[in-house]
Amino acid sequence: MSAVRLDRVTKVYNNGVLAVDDVRLEVEQGEVLVLLGPSGCGKTTILRIIAGLEELTSGNVWLGDQLATGLRPRDRNIAMVFQNCALYPHLTVRDNLAFPLKMAQVADKPARDEKVREIAHGLGIEDTLDRKPGLLSGGQRQRVAIGRALIRGKPTALLMDEPLASLDVGLRSGLRAEIASLIRSLDITTVYVTHDQSEALSLADRVAVLRNGVVEAIGTPDGVYRDPATAFVAGFLGSPPTNLAWAATSMVPGEQVIIDFGRQRLVLPWNEPMSEALTPYEGQAVIVGIRPEALTPAQADSNGLVLRGKVTSLEYHGHEWLARLEVGFRPVDLASIRARPQHPGPPGLGTADRRSSSGGDTSSGHGGHRGASLLVRLGSPSGWAAGQEVCVAIDLRHLYVFDAFGKRVESPAWAHSPSRVGS
């Protein structure tokens, strides 16, 4: 039995914004599930729904074996750490931690003190108990916020809403590791929200990628990264980002499949699994995703799976170089494509994205005058220089093809895994 289950949950706010769109989600006992997506995609709304702070428009929420739809927040055993982790600045850590106990009318001061000591010990912040929040490091403040959320006992789930978002970039990666080990040691079912893909990949047991209130992919970090279900997921996960370009397919049956980018083309042997997956798309526009690490410098006279381009920039990053090649690709505007053909919703409803795209296809992909550059990740010196014409070979394992709606053409391996839920 899962600890938290959302069954076809939809939330439309009073102003007509469709914030959560038919979401199915299961969080297993003890699992760390990360909800990942850009600002406004519905992450906070989902947490608030689990906590009982938002009414559902339709669907149900289950906590363990209990139907929780309609239950008041205080009748759910849910702990939540909010985005700005607001501690009371005028109270000591001890009093901040004890606050929920006071509210719950745990009258006995020795009992409260004992609980505070216990949780402070568990979180490694005993020596800060007499300090005020202003004198704590970011990590210590975060621990106090978590301690305060957990002090009333082990919750059915701990919800964390972008707990690192308000901190300096420099602090974040260290804290990320701290939080990761902390939530694992607590062994509490956790739903963790972030817009930062590297945070998600490093923390999660499973990641659910959200866009416009829809779960576009869910799986292990490695699964969703390696096998992106949609063009959006491919573009959102990975740093540097996946190259995405429009192409047309054609084929010579029994011989080859051609992916035509306009100024250049890739010719796949007929016996490639990718060729088979592309057969139903003959003559259609597709979106091709190529990870920057899928490309390696090749000889200028190479045949086969190579792309040619002019080096427009070379950036040195210490452990690698990033090259940009001018290749004449037609770039993909992700905002103008959607993951599933639009389903008829109640009239007048729409997320910000749907509103903006209803004004017509603004995709620079179709009429773009400037080709997108191809990002290439180089682990060792390539000898390339800006202005040079070069060739790169493609590792087909990191090449993905999506239909014009952004849905993966090849069947992602994880789609067959039994742990997959959602749509």
Q: Which of 5, 43, 76, 141 binds ligand ADP (CB under 6 A)?
A: 43
Which residues in the 239-298 window bind Mg ion by CB under 5 A? none
Using DSSP, state whether 377 is helix, strand or coil.
Answer: strand
Q: Is 415 in the site for ligand ADP (CB under 6 A)?
A: no
Rounded Cα gap, residues 258 and 261, in angstroms: 10
Tell me whether residue 17 or residue 106 sits nearer to ligand ADP (CB atom).
17
Query: 397, exposed or middle or buried, with CB in 10 Å at 0-12, 13-18, 19+?
Result: exposed
Contact 149, 182 (CB under 8 A): no
Is 13 one of the binding residues for ligand ADP (CB under 6 A)?
Answer: yes
In sequence order, the β-bridge partners of residue 12 are 18
Would you say 40 or 241 has its CB closer to ligand ADP? 40
Instruction: Pick what 386 binds: ligand ADP, Mg ion, none; C-beta below 5 to 8 Å, kind-dependent.
Output: none
The H or E element spanning position 140 is: helix 138-150
CB of 15 to ligand ADP, least distance (A): 5
Stretch that binds ligand ADP, among 32-40, 130-138, 223-231, 362-370 (CB under 6 A): 32-40
Q: Which stretch binds ligand ADP (CB under 6 A): 42-50, 57-65, 96-104, 412-420?
A: 42-50
- For residue 396 the two structure tokens come to 């087909």
Minimum CB distance to ligand ADP, residue 274 (Å): 34
User: Should residue 39 be labelled a site residue for ligand ADP when binding is judged by CB under 6 A?
Assistant: yes
57 to 39, 242, 276, 351, 396: CA distances (angstroms): 21, 36, 42, 15, 44
The piece of 40-48, 129-137, 184-192, 380-388 that touches ligand ADP (CB under 6 A) is 40-48
CA 365 to each of CA 218, 335, 337, 381: distance values in angstroms, whole numbers, following the listed order: 28, 11, 11, 32
Distance CA 379, CA 340 (A): 36
Q: Which is nearer to ligand ADP, 40 or 59 (CB)?
A: 40
> Which residue in 2, 45, 243, 357 binds ligand ADP (CB under 6 A)?
45
Planar angle of CA 234, 240, 244, nearest 5 degrees: 40
Decide: is 25 part of the binding site for ligand ADP (CB under 6 A): no
Q: Which is nearer to ligand ADP, 214 or 244 (CB)?
A: 214
Verify binding: residue 335, ligand ADP, rule CB under 6 A. no
Closer Cβ to ligand ADP, 66 or 166, answer by number: 166
- Between 54 and 333, name the residue whose CB sits nearer to ligand ADP: 54
Q: Which of 3, 9, 12, 19 binds ligand ADP (CB under 6 A)?
A: 19
Distance in angstroms (rounded) separating the CA atoms of residues 230 and 8: 20
Distance CA 283, CA 304 (A): 21
Pick the closer one to ligand ADP by CB: 35 or 244.
35
Site residues (CB under 5 A) for Mg ion, limited to 41-60: 44
Closer Cβ to Mg ion, 10 or 44, answer by number: 44
Q: How far apart are alpha carbons 339 and 408 in whole angstroms?
A: 9
- In angstroms, give the least distance from the CB of 329 to ligand ADP: 30
- Measured from the CB atom, the residue of 129 and 204 that comes closer to Mg ion is 204
Residue 368 Cα distances to 25, 126, 259, 264, 291, angstroms: 38, 59, 19, 16, 22
Site string for ligand ADP, 339-378 (x = CB under 6 A): ------------xx--------------------------
Taking the C-alpha atoms of residue 62 and residue 75, their distance in angstroms, rounded to an integer, is: 13
Answer yes or no whether residue 71 interacts with ligand ADP by CB under 6 A. no
d(CA 420, CA 229): 12
User: Count residues contacting Mg ion (CB under 5 A)?
Assistant: 1
SS3 content of the chain, % helix, strand, coil (to 5): 30, 30, 40
Question: Closest Cα partner for 157 from 183, 178, 176?
Answer: 183
Q: How many C-alpha atoms does 58 have within 13 Å on its Cβ side?
A: 8
Q: Which does 88 bind (CB under 5 to 8 A by kind): ligand ADP, Mg ion, none?
A: none
Residues 248-307, interacting with ligand ADP (CB under 6 A) = none
Structure letter (DSSP) for residue 350: -
- Supply the minimum distance, in Å, between the C-beta of residue 45 and ligand ADP: 3
Chain contacts with ligand ADP (rule: CB under 6 A): 13, 15, 17, 19, 37, 39-45, 351-352
Residues at the site binding Mg ion, with contacts judged by CB under 5 A? 44
